[in-house]
Amino acid sequence: MSLEDQHTDRKSLRTVTGKTAQWDELAKDAVCFANGAGGRLLIGIEDGQTWPPADQTVPPDVLDRLRKRIGELTVNVQALPTLQRAPNGGEFIELLIERAGSVASTRDGRYFLRVGDTCQPVLGDDVLRLANERPGKPWEAMDSSVPRTAADATKLARFAQGIRASGRVKDSVKEKTHDELLSHYALAQGSTLTRLGVLLLGSTFDRRALGTAPLVQAIKYDEQGQKINKWVWDDSELSPVELVDVIWRELPDFRESYEVAEGLYRRSVPAYDEKVVRELLVNALVHRPYTQQGDIYLNLHPERLEVVNPGRLPLGVTPRNILHASRRRNEALARVFHDLGLMEREGSGFDLIYDRLLSQGRPVPVPEEGIDWVKVTIQRRIAKPEVMRLMAEADARFQLTQRERITLGVLAQTEGMTARELGAVLETDGPEELVVWLGRLQAFSLVHTTGKTSGMRYFVAPDHLRGVQLDHTTTLSRIEPHRLQALILEDLARYPGSSTTDVNRRIGAEISAKTVKRALDDLAESGQVSYAGERRWRRYSLLSVPGHQGHGE
């Protein structure tokens, strides 16, 4: 039995029995699934448990009451409860919820949507967007009127070969005939291909007739932002599956590499990581809205790659939560890509991108969302080559998890971060989630901390930095807070009336301005330093200088 995900949730039996019954909460969850792709509620299995208690029995009248209450409390929700018995003998209810033909809501007019393993409210203008984004029948399943026999024989044979060679597919699926695979993957229904079937296996003419088959443009720019080259895949000859490989092979920029210093030697590294580029292309092709026309753009600048997709992010997913939120816009297409080994499992694509980039000393990707477009930017060059060695050595020694590698990579590229700053980069909510991402890094002494509660700062252990020569410019930048404050007090004793910039320049320019400003603010709050003026005109002085005679600069 799978854990909670976009299609499965668990609820205690107390939710539907006795005085503790939570019918409104159950109705909200049902609406979430109905507005998504459907799903199931396992009632009688506690969160984090695989099975119900072995001695648990479900009262006989609960199923009828559950069916009745869901009908009373929701609109456009079809729910079917059935009694199930687990292998340990315990009983539970499986409540199957179908995808709604139109937008579902609670009786009191509230809308919800399942995003990843959470239920999120849909408010304001997003209600209209929800209605517009989800037709009564998914675009993929719509009839194309193209005969089933019109599938391109070469594409079908290649698709069947890929499925049978996949390690992600059950043997029972691999044993299916070509024609049976069409039905299994919703590429055909009855005597005709679905629109998804035409998109993946149809002829060039039929694919072009869809009107929304993806067209891709790659444009190269020089340092002045002028276009200097262009590649176009706009004839609808290739399916989305074929486009990924062809684009990677045909763009010469993806073959380029450059050298980075590594001690006494130089190492050749690719301009762009293949797995990262392929994952970005897959995301663009799988998650775009196929009800909307628009080209996919690959903007190749001297220092970065931008992948621009038409349409917005799926409802509930934002640039702020893209590392965690998961909502597939095209379920059947995503299933094909996954089973062919072309994309990661649900919700882990951006994790892979973060992991690969940070392990190579590159900055994290930058997602942006406009009115009718989504853009993801990655950098061409490695910001800190030394980080590659640090990450490789730490991973080889401790066998880090993906989340631990991501967190270590983020910290290794900075002078240290507060809990709030680190949480913002990792898109976590609260200290509990941050602990999960830190994992064993502190236990392994890879990451150290200073300060407490909201003032706690995380930084990579100096011993590890010295081992990869990451400390040659950061001896002062990683200075402990109390030592930094002592330096500032000594400096202000000699030079009262100084700005943050002046103090920063004198005690060490390698210390970030933000770190110095934070230390000055802490000293002011503790009553050791006073200031006059605001913002960039603010000047600091000591309130008392025992044992010092201050003088101007």
Kindly report the CATH number assigned to the domain that includes residue 255: 3.30.565.60
Asked whether residue 1 is domain-assigned, the answer is no
Q: Indicate whether 243 and 361 sit together in one domain.
A: yes
> In whole angstroms, what is the distance from residue 34 CA to residue 23 CA?
16
Asked whether residue 273 is domain-assigned, the answer is yes
Model confidence at 136, in pLDDT bands (50, 70, 90)? low
Type of residue numbered 342? L
Residue that finishes a domain, picked among 187, 209, 231: 209
Mean pLDDT over each residue of the chain, to the nearest integer: 87
Name the residue with higher pLDDT: 473 or 389: 389
- Mean pLDDT, to the nearest integer, of 56-69? 93
Q: Which residue segment(s) compose the domain that 500 sits in?
A: 481-542
Residue that finishes a domain, picked among 80, 104, 133: 133
Asked whether residue 261 is domain-assigned, the answer is yes
Read out DSSP for 495-539?
S-SB-HHHHHHHH-TTS-HHHHHHHHHHHHHTTSEEEESSGGG-E
* Low-confidence winner among 128-137, 176-185, 246-255, 292-301 (lowest mean pLDDT): 128-137
Name the residue with higher pLDDT: 384 or 367: 367
Q: Look at the chain and report how many structural domains it folds into.
A: 5
Asked whether residue 551 is domain-assigned, the answer is no
pLDDT, tens only, 520-541: 988 998 889 999 888 778 899 9
Q: What percent of the chain has pLDDT over 90?
A: 54
pLDDT at residue 510, rounded to an integer = 65
Asked whether residue 549 is domain-assigned, the answer is no
Q: Indicate whether 20 and 78 sit together in one domain.
A: yes
Q: Indicate whether 296 and 402 sit together in one domain.
A: no
Asked whether residue 414 is domain-assigned, the answer is yes
pLDDT of 209 strictly over 50:
yes
Asked whether residue 170 is domain-assigned, the answer is yes
pLDDT, tens only, 348-359: 678 899 999 998
Nearest one of 5, 27, 6 to 16, comparing CA atoms? 27
Q: Indicate whether 415 and 459 sit together in one domain.
A: yes
Name the residue with higher pLDDT: 511 or 522: 522
> In whole angstroms, what is the distance from residue 284 CA to residue 169 CA?
24
pLDDT at residue 442, rounded to an integer = 92
Q: Indicate whether 227 and 310 sit together in one domain.
A: yes
Q: Indicate whether 92 and 56 sit together in one domain.
A: yes
Q: What percent of the chain has pLDDT over 70?
A: 91
* Low-confidence winner among 139-148, 280-289, 332-341, 461-470 (lowest mean pLDDT): 461-470
Model confidence at 479, in pLDDT bands (50, 70, 90)? low
Q: Indicate whether 365 and 455 sit together in one domain.
A: no
- Mean pLDDT, to the nearest integer, of 112-117? 84
pLDDT of 126 strictly over 90:
no
Asked whether residue 386 is domain-assigned, the answer is no
Q: Indicate whether 413 and 287 sit together in one domain.
A: no
Q: Indicate whether 101 and 68 sit together in one domain.
A: yes
Q: Indicate whether 28 and 108 sit together in one domain.
A: yes
Q: Is-above-0.85 flag for pTM?
A: no
Residue that finishes a domain, picked among 379, 411, 439: 379
Q: Indicate whether 75 and 179 sit together in one domain.
A: no
CATH number, domain with residue 39: 3.30.950.30
pLDDT at residue 475, rounded to an integer = 45
Q: Indicate whether 363 and 441 sit together in one domain.
A: no
